[in-house]
Amino acid sequence: MIVVACPGQGSQTPGFLSPWLELPGVAEQLAAYSEAAEVDLLLHGTESDADTIRDTRIAQPLIVAASLITAQVLTERAGRRADGVAGHSVGELAAVVGAGVIDATDAMRLVGIRGRAMADAAAQTPTGMSAVLGGDEEAVLARLAELDLTPANYNVAGQIVAAGALPALAELAAEPVRGSRVMPLQVAGAFHTAYMAPAVETLREAVTGVATSDPEIALWSNRDGARVTDGADALARIVTQVSSPVRWDLCMASFAQDGITGFIEVAPAGALVGMAKRGLRGVPNVAVKTPDDLDAAVALLNGEAA
């Protein structure tokens, strides 16, 4: 079983879409996605600087568009889809398209709304996120509770992302749990926490009337790592995950339990493959960052790579 993984916010880098525009039809596809999301993806994927594309309103549509394009090109070249798909945070919108639950235009419209709603929610109260690397997990969680911080992402063993008020995050960094280090993340607010409740309501209204189909391939939810078999449920989970922790650790546990034999991360790739190397030891993986990585991904998808 080969799994395609779609990355979340923070994986974008300036100009990362430029090499993809050399492929036939990609510029036209990006133009259509830009219209749906109400964001100039051509501009921001090629010319905008790091600060600009860090903006939640821009970053989220940019990442989902890149994943959709990469997955489509990979499928066309391989002559088949992957056996399963999952997405980290906003990457779940690309994942449900890959599973055939909703179409790409609806996904791009929703991610545009999601990005704007989350940015607006973040602007109400100064909050942030920090990665806690290492340390005993129980001790880390106890320290977060003590500071009224939320464990927003469980990425892999030894890596939890804390989210909440900026003074509390500063206190965590000043006095970390023994054996851990705290790394502030360049995000606009405490995503996947109760601070995002207004964005949940906006997105819940936005998905009304969106046509869904049941997944055509395996689809795992980053809310709890469960396999999702109902299309309406998959879309409902995307709404509620805006204010719920991302359990990528449980997704990887499910991948292992289901016996995956290969892991491909679509653009803008790198972070999830890094986690897979730790959490899925021995499973071949490919990070598709540029079109030059497609041959390796096609080989893995078609069983030609060890």
- Domain housing 251: 2-123+193-301
pLDDT of residue 306: 42
Tell which of 184, 214, 229 closes a domain: 184
Among the candidates 184, 207, 233, a domain finishes at 184
pLDDT tens column, 115-163: 999 999 999 999 999 999 999 999 999 999 999 999 999 988 889 999 9
CA 220, CA 206: separation in Å to the nearest integer?
22
Whether 269 maps to a domain, the answer reads: yes
Asked whether residue 6 falls in the same domain as residue 143, the answer is no
* Structural domain count of the chain: 2
For residue 158, the model assigns a pLDDT of: 84
* CATH number of the structural domain spanning residue 163: 3.30.70.250
Based on the fold, state whether residues 264 and 153 are members of the same structural domain. Answer: no
Residues 59 and 206 both lie in one domain: yes
Catalytic center residues: 89, 192
Q: Is 258 exposed, middle or buried (0-12, 13-18, 19+ CB in 10 A)?
A: middle
For residues 293 and 243, state if they share a domain: yes
Tell whether 306 is covered by a domain: no
Give the model confidence (pLDDT) of 259-274 as tens digits: 999 999 999 998 999 9
Whole-angstrom Cα distance, residue 17 to residue 10? Answer: 15
The pTM of the full predicted model, rounded to 2 decimals, is 0.94
